[in-house]
Amino acid sequence: MAIAAPAIVELLPEHRETTALLPHADESALALLSESPALSTALSLCLHAQVPMVLVCGEASHCLYNDACIPLLGALHPHVFGQPLATVTAQRLVLAGATDRQQHPEPSAWSCSPVLESGRPLGQLYIAAHPRGQPSQWHGNTLAATTLALPSPTDERSHDSFLLHLEDALQHVSEPRAIVDTSVRLLGEHLRVNRCAFGLAAEDHSVMHVISDYVQDMPSLKGDFPLEAAQGLRDALLENRTWFTTDAMAPGAPDYVVEQYRHSGLRASLAIPLHKHGQLVAAIGVHQRAPRQWASTDIELVRLVVARCWESMQRAKAQRQLAASEGRLRRLADTVPQIIFIADPAGQPDYFNQRWYEYTGLNPDTEASAAWQQAHSAAGLRMSGQAWALALNGERAYEIECELRRHDGQTRWHLARALPVRDEHGRISEWIGTYTDIHDRRGFEHKLRESEARFRALCETVPAMIWMADVDGNCVYWNPQWYEFTGQGEEQALDQGWWNAMHPDDAARVRHAFEQALDARGAFIAEYRIRRHDGQYRWCIDTASPHFGSDGRFLGHIGSLTDISDRKRIEDATASDRAILSLITTGAPLTVVLDAIALSVEARGETPLYCAVMVLDEEHQTLQFAAAPHLPRDYSGDFENAPIGPSGPPCARSAHSGLQVICEDIANDPRFEDHRALSAAMGIAACCVTPILGSNGAVLGTLNIYYAQPHLASLREQAMARSASHLAGIVIERTRVDAKLKASLQAETAARNQAEHASRVKDEFLATLSHELRTPLNAILGWSRLMQADAFEPAKLGKGLVVIERSARAQTQIIDDLLDMSAILSGKIRLQPEHFDIAGLARSTVELMQPTAQARQIRLELDAPLQGSLWFFGDAGRLQQVLTNLISNALKFTAPEGDVRVSLEVEEQRLRLCVRDTGIGIAADFLPHVFDRFRQADAGTTRRVGGLGLGLSISRQLIDLHGGSLGASSDGEGHGATFTVVLPFQHGVSDQRPAPEPAHTGPLPTAAHGRLDGVRLLLVDDDQDSREAVMHFLMLAGAQVQAAGSVDAAEAHLAAAHYDVLVSDIAMPLRDGYDLIRSVRSGRPELPRHIRAIALTAYVREEDRDRAIVAGFDAHMGKPVEPPGLIDLIERLVLPAGAVRTDPSA
């Protein structure tokens, strides 16, 4: 019997302790289990169960129990597994006082089920009832006694004796493989063939899995039989056709049949397919070694057998699965708190779970349909019948709400639902349903409906707009007043209707306040504007309170929205009047008072309007906006500076005539045809303009009222405008008088403030300036004295000259920075924009700074196009000054072996220039002040770098003048710094010229020699050293130079000889350079009126240049002089492009 035990174990659950003990049980018990399908099924049910079960079988009453019995057995387990019942009982009596049984009380009762097979009892299945003392632990887990038996033989009168014999044989077989083996064997024996095989078709129909065969003098076919090798057979099986061969050796047989059958010895064969749901699922093949004429009865018999074999297999599988499933389902049904019932396909109940009997108090022995009738009222039965009729017709699932009578006679509302269970053919086999107690819920829902009805009635009668929002802030309800006010539909309103109707200027503020209320689960209140159905915005006040459920859970907000436009207009008007009076009495600024007047007019308007006040300029020629609190900026900008006159916009006409100008519809008024497009773009459709008159009747300005819709100002609005304009005239006149009285005081205050400010920065700045001036002076004086010394080495002459020149340039840079800052502060600096190659400018600037970087052992790199041009419209000189300042600053604050990188990037509509260094960085507290004038992060006597602290401030001002921005960033000290210039692309008209050449250092270039050959030049300067230096390098360039130390001497030389160009200083004693040029240009016969003249002066401000040009000079050049630059300038003046120089003495 050791062979049978594993076969039984295959059917049992894994991971169970008792399952592992089964192969070691008594051999007689194992033999009985292997031979009896009924006992095998009962054992499977026992070992699967969650409640204690014991199977007693065999003549010796062997006991087989499940894992749930282990706690009850205590120390007896596993010794008594599979032992006779008498032995188990005796040992239990011995261990009656064991502590483990006290911890695990045994059941108070056991139910018993006989195990039958063909009516013959084979054993008993014991199922535990409630344990003593612990009814709740086992409640709902008992299993009613059930008779387990195999199907009885059926009387199929239409079949012959073989089919009866086959049916009888299969009655004693429950395993699918055994059913197949029995059927195949009996069929083979009955047909007296050499081989009969049964196979299951693969899903792709490529092979047939032969799972059983009967053979006589032939090899077995078990395994995978390839159908591709027998195409005719495969096609017949797939098409559900019978395939047979009577004699494989007869003429006309297919080649593959002849070839295959010759090797196997077959002569005749028959194959019958079985199709289910249009697909091949199985087939039986019959083979014979002798020819055979297959009769139709043979074919029909095989067809019946393969169908019966398949159905028996499926039925056996289904019975086993159904038995297990039904047991689990019934146990589950008894544990759930709901009432569960099962009805037949016609809707007649035939099962209720334990909860039904507990609720109704009915006897479980009562017939199910009678219990159904007793528990329902007449109305409930009627509704149930109607619902079943609809469900059985397939119109909908079974679902009703009905009253169910409780055991105490009280009826409670229940929700009854049932769903159909369908078999493999789609037919309803039964209905499974539940009863759920909804009595309390219905009462609550009834009260809730009444409450909602009262709430909706209240919401629909109040004049306010009522809304409700959920926990996420989404509106879920608006009363009808909202739809009437906004004109929105329900779908639009419950989506984003609230936010869509809100004024855009209020949305961010209101959304923030509402989100705060949501987060805090608190109240919400806000005033904002809502667009009415006619497009007009109305002021509303919105108040909402948080809404909580009975369990304290936050459900959202309930609020009301009330139109307060009229009230707000009155409040605004009253407040405006008070504000105007207060402002006038306290001497508030004119614009503030006029703003208050305009707001007061807007508040008093009968319809929405804008009000603006315009005043005449000092020349009484143009109008300027003095107050326009709600007027779009674009509109005010386009109409500002409009000249007054009989034509033009309404404000210009009113200021010219001194009369009120009213336009009902600008779009259709021919007077303002030129202003229709602009007014329409700004949303202005009508206006009423009233002149503002002074006490003497003079026009001071206009008070303008604008309407968004065509509108004729009423008499009240016209009177209101005249009253407001009169008040505005008083305020304007008073302000002007007050301004004259306050002018001296303001001047005194400004002077005092400037003096105090100057006093604060004077000492530190003067100390820095003194240091920065004296440092290069020290080098100049030191090297000058060294050169005068007798022991001076001539070899060091070049070095000394370079040091002197560098020091002089440092002083020049300090002076230029001071002048630039002065011009910036006074607003007199002007740009000279032109088209230039900014990429080339960046390259040349980096090349210019390379020597300085190399001297400091710093890597200076440019990240920009190395070839090609990038044209830009701006002041090339000023931008090079900015870039030089930034690079120089980066080099000063970067240690040796550090990096400075300059990058140039082109973005959409703008240019980005960055200078990054790896230097000492900028402290976070100083970063906001890095562009302040005279501010330095290290201003003490131990500072590491020099400078006045003006370079970055000047650079920012110059970038601002270009419409760009200059910013600084740093991650802190020791992490370097980045300065970023962003410049917008400008469009203008200017001669394109290359970027300015970098300043020349060192000796006069060799290329300059001879460039001024033949040029006769008069040089005027009262300073002999300066005069001689300039004369010397001009003569080296080939010019014939005559020097003069005063204006009188210069006039004498001009009268005595001919000169091509006059180069004169400005500041000279007695008579300056302006006197000289005015004398030359005056037309005196002895002086050359048209001589080309250059002002060479230390006055280098923009206004100094302009003054020189106006006085009569052709060009202006600042000191100190750059010799190459002066030579270029003289060459351009004396020799224009394309001209040929001639000897003037010829």
What percent of the chain is modeled with pLDDT above 90? 24
**Is pLDDT at 1006 greater than 70 in this prediction?**
no
pLDDT-derived band at 944, boundaries 50, 70, 90: very low
pLDDT-derived band at 1138, boundaries 50, 70, 90: very low
Q: Which of 287-291, 619-623, 991-995, 998-1002 has the lowest mean pLDDT?
A: 991-995
**Is pLDDT at 1054 greater than 60 in this prediction?**
yes
* Segment 1099-1126 mean pLDDT: 86
**Is pLDDT at 196 greater than 90 in this prediction?**
yes
Region of residue 1038 (phi > 0: left; psi between -120 and 50: alpha; otherwise: beta) = left
pLDDT at 59: 74
Other Cβ atoms less than 10 A from the Cβ of 876: the count is 22
pLDDT-derived band at 12, boundaries 50, 70, 90: low
Mean pLDDT of the chain: 80
Q: Which of 62-71, 426-435, 994-1003 has the lowest mean pLDDT?
A: 994-1003
Does residue 1119 or residue 921 have the better pLDDT?
Answer: 921
pTM of the predicted model, to two decimals?
0.31
Helices 590-604 and 565-586 pack at an angle, to 10 degrees, of 160
pLDDT at 270: 92
* Segment 887-916 mean pLDDT: 90
Q: Whose structure tokens read 């005063």?
A: 1046
Does residue 998 or residue 1126 have the better pLDDT?
Answer: 1126
pLDDT-derived band at 7, boundaries 50, 70, 90: very low
pLDDT at 166: 80
Q: Which of 814-828, 1065-1079, 1082-1096 has the lowest mean pLDDT?
A: 814-828
- Give the β-pairing of 524-531 and 537-548: antiparallel
**Is pLDDT at 998 greater than 70 in this prediction?**
no
pLDDT tens digits for range 496-543: 889 999 999 999 999 999 999 999 999 999 999 999 998 888 899 999
pLDDT at 110: 67
pLDDT at 503: 94
**Is pLDDT at 57 greater than 60 in this prediction?**
yes
**Is pLDDT at 996 greater than 60 in this prediction?**
no
pLDDT tens digits for range 763-789: 656 655 665 566 566 667 667 766 776
pLDDT tens digits for range 1038-1052: 999 999 999 999 999
pLDDT at 737: 82
pLDDT at 100: 42
pLDDT at 18: 77
**Is pLDDT at 485 greater than 80 in this prediction?**
yes
Q: Is the peptide bond before 135 cis (omega within 30 degrees of 0)?
A: no
* Segment 825-840 mean pLDDT: 77
* Segment 249-269 mean pLDDT: 76
* Segment 140-153 mean pLDDT: 29
* Segment 564-571 mean pLDDT: 80
Domains of the chain in sequence order: 4-138 (no CATH), 162-319 (3.30.450.40), 336-437 (3.30.450.20), 455-563 (3.30.450.20), 605-713 (3.30.450.40), 729-827 (1.10.287.130), 830-984 (3.30.565.10), 1006-1134 (3.40.50.2300)
pLDDT at 106: 54
* Segment 349-368 mean pLDDT: 87
Helices vs strands, H then E, count in the chain: 36, 38
Cα–Cα dist 984/909, whole Å: 6
pLDDT at 496: 86
* Segment 570-585 mean pLDDT: 78
* Segment 314-333 mean pLDDT: 73
Cα–Cα dist 241/702, whole Å: 106
pLDDT tens digits for range 22-37: 877 777 777 777 777 7
Nearest partner of 958 among 966, 947, 970, 946, judged by Cα? 966
Angle, CA of 482, 486 and 491, to the nearest 5°:
75
Other Cβ atoms less than 10 A from the Cβ of 725: the count is 25
pLDDT-derived band at 867, boundaries 50, 70, 90: low
Region of residue 949 (phi > 0: left; psi between -120 and 50: alpha; otherwise: beta) = left
pLDDT tens digits for range 930-939: 887 666 555 4
pLDDT at 97: 38
The DSSP string of 290-357 is: S-----HHHHHHHHHHHHHHHHHHHHHHHHHHHHHHHHHHHHHHTTSSSEEEEE-TTS-EEEE-HHHH
The DSSP string of 350-402 is: EEE-HHHHHHH---TTS-HHHHHHHHB-HHHHHHHHHHHHHHHTTSS-EEEEE
Nearest partner of 274 among 249, 252, 242, judged by Cα? 242
Other Cβ atoms less than 10 A from the Cβ of 554: the count is 13
Residues 6+ apart with CB under 8 A from 21: 78, 81, 82
Region of residue 790 (phi > 0: left; psi between -120 and 50: alpha; otherwise: beta) = alpha
Residue 995: Cβ-neighbour burial (10 angstroms; 0-12, 13-18, 19+): buried
Structure tokens at 1062: 């006059």
**Is pLDDT at 481 greater than 50 in this prediction?**
yes
pLDDT-derived band at 2, boundaries 50, 70, 90: very low
pLDDT at 637: 61
Q: Helix or strand or coil: residue 862?
A: strand
* Segment 829-844 mean pLDDT: 82
